[in-house]
Structure 1
Amino acid sequence: MFDVEMFITKANRVHMKKLVLDTCIAFLGRTISQSEFRVKNGSSYVKDELYYRLNVRPNKNMTASTFWETFIHKLVFDNECLIVQSDDGDLLLADDFQHIEYAVYEDVFVNVTVKDYTFQRSFKQNEVIHLRYRNEKLTPLIDSLFTDYGDLFGRILNSQKRKNQIRGTVDMDMLAAKSPQHQAKLQEFIDNMYKAVGEKDVAIIPQQPGFKYEEKSNGGKTGQSVDEINKVTNGFFNQVAMALGIPTSLVYGEMADVEKQTKNYMLFTVKPLLKKLADEANVKFFEKDEYLAGQKIDIKCISYQSIFDLATSIDKLISSSAFTGNEIRQEVGYDPSDDPKLDKHYITKNYAEMSHDEGGEKQNDNEH
């Protein structure tokens, strides 16, 4: 055998892992970024400096939507995220930090770095917003999963490439090819031939004395189809989406049972994450007495129900006398109305006001 290079290259499969992670994390980040962080004071909502920071401009360089998308990406990918507040009130996402944990004292964060700036001071736990995504890091799980899927993906990809591969053979004069000069000519001939076939639409390969090139096609043999490659990619995608709690049908854009899938996604993935963020924000922005007095951060997530479905649900809740109009308004995120009629209970589909007499309850005679 001659020491001749055959241009064997290894497929790079890192793009599959990055594509799946970015797709799933970005999907979750876009959902969270559409939420409204409302500042509640008693029974009413106020729009103050904190509201502006959380919903419009957290810092000088980021809008709120970009800020929370980046927050989710750091939280899921790194399993934890740290938000610190600068001296002028800006909310900053830490790119790197060192977490010193204690058993009975407050944890301390040191070497907090935002972009290229490292704070020289330390931050206590009550001065920052610090969240962990889950008990264990998700990255080792995805890495081990990708090892198996990536190897399978590479094997099927290489098999598919070989299926319709154009192969060539070179016959040579054995007596002439033994000399180093002829071996160098042979290597140069193969290099030029490979370059011409790969780069040109029409490649003319001249015949050389002692060298004979013949092209052979392998297209007639069966092999793995492109569908097999897609199945492996989708399999890895489904596993990562399941680990993040995202229904794959939503990411794929499937329309079947989209409302049920969206409801499960909002109920079991988005709302628990928003609850965790709201609890952390309430602890850091309000004292215990303020919170017990009714001051808190209330996060309103996006509605997945249509106006018609929402109106139908409200109609049933009010007509059954289970809730008043103002109770419904507060539940869906609006301030209570000053109209006294919205503080009364109604029954029947005609919204007749309930009245009380000595014999019990009866409906008004003027229901319409």
Structure 2
Amino acid sequence: MFNFLFQDRNKEIQSLAEVISLDMAKVNLSKLAIEKAMLMIAKAIAKSDILIQTDNKEKRKEEYRLNIQPNDHECGTVFWTEVVKELLTTTEVVIIPLGGKYYRASSWQTTDSVLTERTYRDITLTCAGYDYSTYKSFRSSEVIHLRYDNARIRLYLQNVVGQYDKTLEAVNTMMRLSSQPRFKLKTGDNQVFAEELDDGTKRRTTRSKYLEKIKRLLESDELLVFPESTGVTLESMQITTNVKAEELAKMALQINNEVANAFDIPEAVFNGNITEKSDATNEFITYAVSPIAEVINDTLTAYKIGINDYCKEKEKVMVWLARFKHVDVVDSAVNLDKLRGIGFNYDEIREMVGYPLLNTEFSQARALTKNYGEEDNSNAAQET
């Protein structure tokens, strides 16, 4: 998948600038593509609502902190976008609850216990661009520790770092070359070199001595006039580069597709080539976003609900990804009508499409208009 990162660089010095230019373009395009992929997944999570399925009003109040304002300085969209980006980059994120608010930890130390709870200490919190060190210790049950390991993402990021090293090595080579001017001496096939003595006479000299004399003249700080000899021409060598736009476009498409595959994003979604009949958006949610959402679901359920309420009350926390995908109410009118017919009330349907709730007796009433009872079942729902 990543063969383009490891091309042969055994080329002539004259083409070294082109190698550097191509390598730098690859690095920049890779950084852009990786950032785009992470933002696509992070924004999908941030746009979705985090719901707490419970009848406990105190727990439901936590939805405000989880969705709207986790802390005093960040909104929910910014907070969860940064959390998911860090999760994709470093494979783990620690969120510290303090005073009913949530803060992302930029660094921490933890014990290595396996059979008992671990202790988190030496924690540095980051919030709205500022850091704050806290010396308070926390147990595992008191923090929200998200972990997500994607081998393909890690491999791709490692290869990009390796590409940086190779590119910087080439840049250093170019800097050494550019710091020492290069000249090209053109002479005839049977060129005779001569030098003028102090008394005005001339004598023959070797080619190497003639070059040494020119070198001393070039290195001199004095204002000099170079005498022009018959059949001898001195020219400055320049290293030029020429990267065609078609090559960069082809390279960009190749990198975009490889990054999309690394992050499990359909290429059509990543490159913006979605057709009306395409299921690429659903595949993006299924393969790229849902695994991250499940990690958040499980971790928040363990922290907010606990094993007792999960088993007894069937309570849980979930990232409602249905809010991420745009729903056209006109195109979906028939399907929405079917939801009404099987028992969904108007408020539930309006919430699905992002409309404000009415919160009236009429909008919360349920009306079954279809009979889905079993045969010979006297308690089957009747048509209204």
TM range (shorter): 0.5 to 0.7
CA distance in 2, matches of 1:266, 1:359: 42
Instruction: Give 3-state SS (helix, strand or coil) of 1:95's partner.
Output: strand
Instruction: Give 3-state SS (helix, strand or coil) of 2:330's partner.
Output: helix
- Residue deviations 1:262-310, cap 9 Å, x none? 1111123223322321221121123334443355433223233322343
The alignment status of 1:31 with 2:44, answered yes or no, reads: yes
**In 2 relative to 1, CA 307–169 (structure 1 residues): closer, same or farther, beyond 3 Å?**
farther
**In 2 relative to 1, CA 217–289 (structure 1 residues): closer, same or farther, beyond 3 Å?**
closer
**Match runs of 1:254-333 below 5 Å:** 254-257=273-276, 259-291=278-310, 292-293=312-313, 295-301=315-321, 302-319=324-341, 323-326=342-345, 329=348, 332=352
**In 2 relative to 1, CA 281–168 (structure 1 residues): closer, same or farther, beyond 3 Å?**
same
Quick one: which of 227, 244, 254 aligns to 2:246?
227
Structure 1 window deviating more from structure 2 (227-236 vs 173-182): it is 173-182
Aligned to 1:93: 104
Aligned to 2:369: 346
Q: Structure 1: 5+ residue runs without aligned partners?
A: 156-166, 190-205
- Residue deviations 1:312-341, cap 9 Å, x none? 22334555xxx2124992894979974499
Shift of 1:71: 0.5
Q: In structure 2, what residue type is equivalent to 1:304? A: H
CA distance in 2, matches of 1:358, 1:230: 65
Structure 1 window deviating more from structure 2 (91-100 vs 327-336): it is 327-336
Q: In structure 2, what residue type is equivalent to 1:183? A: K
Shift of 1:22: 1.0
Shift of 1:101: 3.4
Aligned to 1:193: none
CA distance in 1, matches of 2:346, 2:274: 34
TM-score by length of 2: 0.65
CA distance in 1, matches of 2:381, 2:159: 67
Aligned to 1:109: 120
The alignment status of 1:68 with 2:100, answered yes or no, reads: no
Aligned to 1:209: 227
Contact 2:97 2:143 in 1 (8 A): yes
Shift of 1:96: 1.9
Instruction: Give 3-state SS (helix, strand or coil) of 1:263's partner.
Output: helix
Shift of 1:25: 0.7
TM-score by length of 1: 0.68
Shift of 1:168: 8.8
CA distance in 2, matches of 1:345, 1:328: 15
Count matched residues: 320
**In 2 relative to 1, CA 188–138 (structure 1 residues): closer, same or farther, beyond 3 Å?**
farther
The alignment status of 1:16 with 2:49, answered yes or no, reads: no
Shift of 1:103: 2.5
Q: Structure 2: 5+ residue runs without aligned partners?
A: 1-12, 171-181, 196-208
**In 2 relative to 1, CA 102–363 (structure 1 residues): closer, same or farther, beyond 3 Å?**
closer
**What CA RMSD, in Å, does the superposition of the two structures yield over aligned residues?**
4.7
CA distance in 1, matches of 2:287, 2:359: 28
CA distance in 2, matches of 1:339, 1:139: 52
Instruction: Give 3-state SS (helix, strand or coil) of 2:295's partner.
Output: helix
Contact 1:82 1:129 in 2 (8 A): yes
Shift of 1:127: 1.0
**In 2 relative to 1, CA 363–288 (structure 1 residues): closer, same or farther, beyond 3 Å?**
closer
The alignment status of 1:132 with 2:144, answered yes or no, reads: no
Instruction: Give 3-state SS (helix, strand or coil) of 2:109's partner.
Output: strand
Aligned to 1:55: 67
Q: In structure 1, what residue type is equivalent to 2:83? A: F
